[in-house]
């Protein structure tokens, strides 16, 4: 065959589209989403079936998890051992499922987030609840199909006799869709199922008299119970779940908030929740917290948040619920697979699908039992009849030359070539018409069955079989009788799996956290690399001068204030004092760029807002413009505002804050130095006050090609200014009026 004839051409985009569609369907149907009937994903179903094949029943010893995973992977699920073991571990978690399906022995992880031990160290067997999904699997109640290599048969669905999908819930992410069904209380779900069977037209609101809402294994409180009706009607929505807590007294007049139940969203991640609370205390996000510790044990969860003396606990709780996982959102999406198609189901629709499935499997079950009972009744009836003519039967057997000859006589009355002792026996044998099944049973009957007690047992068994056959026919004769049988089984499961509701349902509003900060002095330290942090005044007083000298800027301010940054690009950025991380002098801090949206601009002035508000700022630009602006102008709710109207080639070169006293005393002079060393100085009173959005007025007249290099504010006691590390006497600067050309000096 030539190379050209062996090449098959495909359109790339069409091939990608088809391949991705096949992949998406495979993930949706064969991996990520549960079946609406048994509530299991394929990997879960295969694990349970493999365990039944290994006879790992609740009354049998545990078996190594590695053996279970190996059988599941080798026979039914060739997708890797880790996914199979993770599914097995998940089905054993009593903090994830209302009714765990696996009884694990060994380290199967914890609610804290600890992972399970390796599969070679753990053991498992089926739980009692799992048996309700696997019962009567040998009766042909569900369809089987070949496995991946057609070497085995596996069930397409398990004959679940409890509403597992609603009781245990599930979560899964497919391609373009996801499912998130919350767990419910087994008793409530069974009561709701029975109520639906009694009245298929029942409304969602009436159903919720039985199924009140989700019942999470971790407990907690649903704080938006009014939203549940809409969620159950549409199959989608959001549930707000809050932790349960107690308030206890502690040492030194302090109070403890003791968390006893956590939201279901933190199930398996309690350790991270504790780290989050500890981080809030460490970073002093909530100043009220004195200590956080975990006192949980086998008896239950006990996370202690110790509150400082005299602090508002209710206000702190509002903050904790808002900023931590102690209150979280559970997104409900009741998505499942029906007839190989994913769909979103309402609560009522889920119950309808389950009841329809029960009708199907119970009908198959009782048809199977009826056929079995009828076959057995046929055999017993034949044995009873044979016992009554046992002498003739024995004579036929002794006179026959083969089993086939004897069987023909029993079923058809064929006495050919059979040696009878008398003509009467031969005539009587011609009238025999046993069935094939009866004849086989008679031919294999043991002589011990001729004992009087055994004959009595046959009659008793016959009566029982007739009674059972009548019962089975009655059950199969009407839907009402079938429903009665299903309800009796559900009520038995209700007694078997009875557990009290753990999750409370309520409607609670979330109040805002009011930050109550004790006002104190802090120092914001900014090094030459732009890293910033804050320290309290006590830490500052203890710091060595040599250490403090490493910081380019040290700003004293209140912890309730904001720091304002003025840049060369005429922008002002505002950062709350609380945004600066608190720590020690030697801590690294955080980059200023992460605290505000400042770019590559050069910061000219750092000033606390309280000081700015009571000051007047003198602005000097590169093109020689000058203005005076009241600090009140910079009051804004925004964290970034413009401070001047600049020309395209202009920038800010100098900003200085003046106190009200300095302005009134008129004892300050502004000093200019241009790039060509022209100088000018005059009193600040000559600088008019303008709005922040103005450009200002000419402060010094510049020659063509010249620009303002430096500017200073000097007082009566200032004798010199520093220029290029040289001290220049202020008297050398020309005194004049605003907008004068200035005097050139030698530097």
Q: Between these two residues, 216 and 456, which has the higher pLDDT value?
A: 216
Q: Say what the pLDDT of residue 4 is.
A: 59
**pLDDT higher than 70, residue 23:** no
Contact 524, 555 (CB under 8 A): yes
Burial of 465 (0-12, 13-18, 19+ CB in 10 A): buried
Residue owning tokens 């062996």: 6
Q: How far is residue 616's CA from residue 629's CA, in Å, rounded to a whole number?
A: 6
Summarize the confidence of residues 32-49 as an average pLDDT.
Answer: 94
**pLDDT higher than 90, residue 726:** no
CA distances to 32, 33, 160, 181, 495 from 102, in Å? 20, 20, 15, 20, 20
**pLDDT higher than 80, residue 70:** yes
**pLDDT higher than 70, residue 474:** yes
Summarize the confidence of residues 486-505 as an average pLDDT.
Answer: 96
Summarize the confidence of residues 145-163 as an average pLDDT.
Answer: 94
Exposure on the CB side of residue 510, measured as CA atoms within 13 A: 18
Summarize the confidence of residues 481-495 as an average pLDDT.
Answer: 96
How many Cβ atoms from other residues are within 10 Å of residue 674's Cβ?
Answer: 21
Summarize the confidence of residues 153-158 as an average pLDDT.
Answer: 95
Q: How far is residue 440's CA from residue 448's CA, in Å, rounded to a whole number?
A: 17
Which entry of 121, 362, 493, 513 is annotated as an active-site residue?
121
pLDDT in tens, 619-650: 999 999 999 999 999 998 888 999 999 988 89
Q: Say what the pLDDT of residue 449 is.
A: 67
Summarize the confidence of residues 206-225 as an average pLDDT.
Answer: 96
Q: Say what the pLDDT of residue 386 is.
A: 86
Q: List the beta bridge partners of residue 105.
A: 123
222 pLDDT band (50/70/90 cuts)? very high
Q: Say what the pLDDT of residue 666 is.
A: 81
Contact 41, 32 (CB under 8 A): yes
Q: Is 533 helix (H, G, I), strand (E, B) or coil?
A: strand
Q: Say what the pLDDT of residue 724 is.
A: 79
Contact 535, 591 (CB under 8 A): no
Q: Say what the pLDDT of residue 1 is.
A: 46
Q: Per the confidence metrics, is the pTM higher than 0.75? A: no
Contact 41, 87 (CB under 8 A): yes
In sign, the C-alpha dihedral spanning 213, 236, 39, 240 is negative
pLDDT in tens, 237-263: 999 999 999 999 988 888 999 999 999
**DSSP state string for 380-426:** HHHHHHHHHTHHHHHHHHHH-SSHHHHHHHHHH---TT---SSHHHH
447 pLDDT band (50/70/90 cuts)? confident
**pLDDT higher than 60, residue 123:** yes
Domains and CATH numbers, the chain: 40-159 (3.90.199.10), 244-325 (3.30.1360.40), 353-496 (1.10.268.10), 614-744 (2.120.10.90)
16 pLDDT band (50/70/90 cuts)? confident
CA distances to 597, 599, 623 from 653, in Å? 21, 17, 9
**pLDDT higher than 90, residue 216:** yes
pLDDT in tens, 369-409: 999 999 999 999 988 888 888 888 888 888 888 899 888 88
Q: Between these two residues, 261 and 285, which has the higher pLDDT value?
A: 261
Q: Say what the pLDDT of residue 742 is.
A: 85
131 pLDDT band (50/70/90 cuts)? very high
660 pLDDT band (50/70/90 cuts)? confident
**pLDDT higher than 90, residue 94:** yes
**pLDDT higher than 70, residue 313:** yes
| Lowest-confidence pick of 356-365, 579-588, 694-703 | 579-588
Average pLDDT, the chain: 90
280 pLDDT band (50/70/90 cuts)? confident
- C-alpha 66: how far from chain center: 28
- For this structure, is 121 an active site residue? yes
Which range of 13-17, 394-398, 467-471 scores highest in mean pLDDT? It is: 467-471
427 pLDDT band (50/70/90 cuts)? confident
Q: Which of 330, 19, 326 has its CA nearest to residue 179?
A: 330
- pLDDT-above-70 percentage for the chain: 96
**pLDDT higher than 70, residue 454:** yes
Q: Which of 404, 468, 505 has its CA nearest to residue 188?
A: 505
536 pLDDT band (50/70/90 cuts)? confident
**pLDDT higher than 50, residue 337:** yes
| Lowest-confidence pick of 170-174, 191-195, 654-658 | 170-174
Q: Say what the pLDDT of residue 3 is.
A: 57
Summarize the confidence of residues 300-306 as an average pLDDT.
Answer: 94
* Tokens coding 196: 């639906």
- C-alpha 524: how far from chain center: 39
Q: Say what the pLDDT of residue 19 is.
A: 65
**DSSP state string for 167-220:** HH-EEEE-SS-EEEE----HHHHHHHHHHHHH-TT--HHHHTTTS-S---TT--
Q: How far is residue 743's CA from residue 678's CA, in Å, rounded to a whole number?
A: 5
Q: Say what the pLDDT of residue 46 is.
A: 95
| Lowest-confidence pick of 222-226, 231-235, 453-457, 477-481 | 453-457
Q: Say what the pLDDT of residue 499 is.
A: 94
């Amino acid at each position: 065959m030539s190379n050209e004839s062996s090449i098959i051409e495909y359109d790339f985009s069409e091939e990608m589209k088809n391949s991705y569609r096949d992949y998406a369907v495979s993930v949706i149907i064969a991996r990520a989403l549960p079946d609406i009937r048994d509530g299991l994903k394929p990997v879960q179903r295969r694990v349970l079936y493999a365990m039944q094949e290994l006879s790992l029943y609740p009354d049998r010893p545990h078996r190594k998890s590695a053996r279970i995973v190996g059988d599941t992977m080798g026979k039914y699920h060739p997708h890797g051992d880790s996914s199979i073991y993770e599914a097995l571990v998940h089905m054993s978690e009593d903090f994830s499922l209302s009714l765990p399906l696996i009884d694990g022995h060994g380290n199967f992880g914890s609610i804290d987030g600890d992972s399970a031990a390796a599969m070679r160290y753990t053991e498992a067997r089926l739980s009692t609840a799992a048996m309700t999904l696997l019962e009567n699997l040998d009766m042909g109640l569900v369809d089987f199909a070949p496995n991946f290599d057609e070497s085995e048969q596996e069930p397409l669905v398990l004959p679940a006799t409890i509403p597992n999908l609603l009781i245990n819930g599930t979560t899964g992410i497919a391609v373009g869709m996801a499912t998130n069904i919350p767990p419910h209380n087994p008793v409530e779900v069974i009561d709701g199922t029975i109520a639906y069977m009694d009245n298929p037209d029942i409304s969602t609101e009436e159903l919720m008299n039985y199924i009140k809402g989700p019942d999470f294994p971790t407990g907690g409180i649903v704080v938006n119970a009014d939203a549940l009706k809409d969620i159950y009607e549409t199959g989608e929505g959001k549930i707000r779940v809050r932790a349960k807590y107690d308030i206890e007294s502690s040492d030194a007049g302090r109070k403890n908030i003791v968390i006893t139940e956590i939201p279901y969203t933190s199930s398996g991640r309690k350790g991270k929740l504790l780290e989050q609370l500890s981080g809030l205390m460490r970073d002093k996000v909530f100043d009220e917290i004195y200590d956080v510790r975990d006192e949980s044990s086998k008896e239950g969860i006990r996370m202690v948040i110790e509150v400082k003396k005299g602090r508002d606990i209710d206000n702190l709780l509002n903050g904790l619920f808002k900023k931590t996982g102690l209150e979280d959102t559970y997104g409900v999406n009741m998505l499942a697979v029906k007839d190989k198609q994913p769909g979103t189901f309402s609560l009522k629709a889920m119950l309808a699908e389950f009841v329809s499935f029960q009708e199907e499997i119970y009908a198959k079950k009782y048809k199977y039992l009826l056929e079995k009972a009828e076959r057995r009744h046929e055999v017993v009836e034949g044995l009873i009849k044979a016992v009554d003519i046992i002498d003739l039967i024995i004579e036929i057997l002794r006179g026959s030359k083969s089993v086939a000859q004897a069987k023909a006589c029993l079923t058809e009355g064929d006495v050919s070539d059979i040696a009878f002792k008398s003509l009467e026996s031969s005539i009587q044998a011609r009238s025999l018409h046993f069935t094939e099944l009866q004849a086989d049973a008679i031919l294999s009957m043991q002589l011990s069955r001729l004992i009087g007690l055994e004959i009595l047992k046959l009659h008793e068994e016959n009566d029982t079989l007739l009674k059972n056959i009548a019962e089975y026919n009655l059950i199969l004769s009407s839907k009402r009788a079938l429903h009665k049988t299903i309800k009796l089984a559900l009520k038995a499961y209700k007694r078997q799996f009875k557990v009290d509701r753990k999750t409370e349902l309520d409607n609670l509003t979330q109040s805002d956290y009011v930050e109550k900060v004790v006002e104190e002095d802090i120092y914001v330290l900014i090094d030459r690399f732009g890293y910033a942090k804050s320290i309290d005044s006590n830490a500052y007083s203890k710091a060595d001068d040599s250490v403090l000298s490493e910081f380019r800027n040290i700003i004293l301010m209140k912890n309730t204030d904001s720091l304002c940054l003025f840049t060369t690009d005429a922008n002002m950025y505002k950062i709350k004092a609380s945004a600066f991380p608190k720590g020690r002098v030697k801590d690294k801090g955080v980059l200023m760029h992460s605290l505000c949206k400042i770019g590559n601009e050069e910061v000219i002035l750092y000033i606390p807002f309280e000081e700015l508000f009571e000051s007047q700022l003198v602005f000097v630009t590169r093109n020689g413009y000058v203005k005076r602006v009241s600090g009140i102008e910079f009051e804004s709710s925004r964290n970034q505002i413009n401070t001047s109207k600049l020309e395209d080639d202009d920038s800010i070169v100098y900003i200085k804050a003046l106190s009200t006293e300095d302005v009134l005393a008129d004892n300050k002079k502004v000093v200019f130095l241009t790039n060509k060393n022209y100088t000018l100085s005059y009193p600040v009173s000559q600088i008019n006050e303008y709005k922040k959005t103005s450009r200002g007025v000419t402060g010094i007249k510049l020659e063509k090609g010249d620009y303002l290099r430096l500017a200073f504010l000097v007082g009566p006691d200032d004798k010199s200014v520093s220029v290029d590390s040289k001290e220049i006497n202020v008297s050398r600067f020309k005194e004049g009026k605003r907008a004068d050309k200035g005097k050139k000096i030698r530097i």
